[in-house]
Amino acid sequence: WGIDGHLIVCRIAQPRLSKAAADAVENLLPAYADNDLGSVCSWADRVKFHYHWSSALHFIDTPDNLCTYQYSRDCKDEDGIKDRCVAGAINNYTTQLLSYGNENSASQYNFTEALLFLSHFMGDIHQPLHVGFTSDRGGNTIDVHWYKRKSVLHHVWDDNIIETEEDRSYDSNVDEMIDALQKNITTIWANQAKAWEACSTTTCPDIYASEGIKAACNWAYKGVSEDSVLEDNYFLTRSPIVNLRLAQGGVRLAATLNRIFG
């Protein structure tokens, strides 16, 4: 996701935290965040170049046209980095944060960075094209038009659909979009939201990634080819999927943090 997608995920998550998790997050956030997780939800994108190793942790490449995900096949050890994909990163930062508060762990990890990475990657794993095909780099090499403007399919899903929805439905105000999604989570999605949280361990990135590649095949790639013009028909049928994935990302980030700090 771009900046707004990540902001939406973190703003949905933070009010859903238990007292224990909210306290831990407040202690771990840098002072300049002013206890607003949303304000640092894109930190991981800004440090990609400085922490070069981290740039491969924002996505998973799956085999072209297979429309399936398997951890052992798709999240390999590469370039000296173990479990190099967004599902591996979620597992690793979850494990780090589970040792927060333990004696002797204080010097081992930077728990602030672990929280910021986990909060960001929980968003990215819910962007369908962050679990896309290998040869097109998750839609980055597919040139399209978004209405009159040049774009690439990956960017349509990171940013364009969200921006168009904000402009059309929320008077260009992202806070209004966040309010609307939060309202849906407690009303029409309330039963589903319980199921989104379910996870027999602390976090379940393999579930999120499997859903992601299915959504990529069924909605993101479907009907799109090089130089496709994507406009109302695509926007109106895909924006509900974007809304769902943003909501799932926020609910699951909160559920994961609640399990970690519970």
Residue ranges that bind ligand DCM, judged by CB under 6 A: 2-3, 30, 42-43, 45-47, 50, 58-59, 61, 110, 112-113, 129-130, 137-138, 140, 154, 158-159
Query: 126 touches which of ligand DCM, Zn ion, none (CB within 5 to 8 A by kind)?
Result: none
Name the residue with tokens 């690793």.
Answer: 92
| 35/110 with CB nearer ligand DCM | 110
Q: Which of 124, 165, 166, 211 binds Zn ion (CB under 5 A)?
A: 124
| 137/259 with CB nearer ligand DCM | 137
Q: Yes or no: say if 191 and 18 are a contact pair by the CB < 8 Å rule.
A: no
Query: 111 touches which of Zn ion, ligand DCM, none (CB within 5 to 8 A by kind)?
Result: none
Cα R_g (the chain), whole angstroms: 18
CB atoms within 10 A of CB 50: 7
The minimum distance between CB 241 and Zn ion, in angstroms, equals 15
Q: Which of 61, 113, 136, 158 binds Zn ion (CB under 5 A)?
A: 158
Query: 47 touches which of ligand DCM, Zn ion, none (CB within 5 to 8 A by kind)?
Result: ligand DCM
The H-assigned helical ranges of the chain are 3-13, 19-28, 43-46, 71-74, 86-98, 111-124, 153-155, 161-169, 174-186, 190-197, 205-215, 232-261
DSSP H or E stretch at residue 131:
strand 131-133
Query: 3 touches which of ligand DCM, Zn ion, none (CB within 5 to 8 A by kind)?
Result: ligand DCM
The minimum distance between CB 190 and ligand DCM, in angstroms, equals 30
Q: How many angstroms separate the CA atoms of 213 and 233, rounded?
A: 22
Please classify residue 31 by burial: count the beta carbons closer than 10 Å to its beta carbon, then call 0-12 exposed, 13-18 middle and 19+ buried: exposed
The minimum distance between CB 204 and Zn ion, in angstroms, equals 19
The minimum distance between CB 95 and ligand DCM, in angstroms, equals 18
Joined together, the tokens standing for residue 71 give 């951890």
Query: 240 touches which of ligand DCM, Zn ion, none (CB within 5 to 8 A by kind)?
Result: none
Interface positions with Zn ion (CB under 5 A): 45, 58, 124, 158
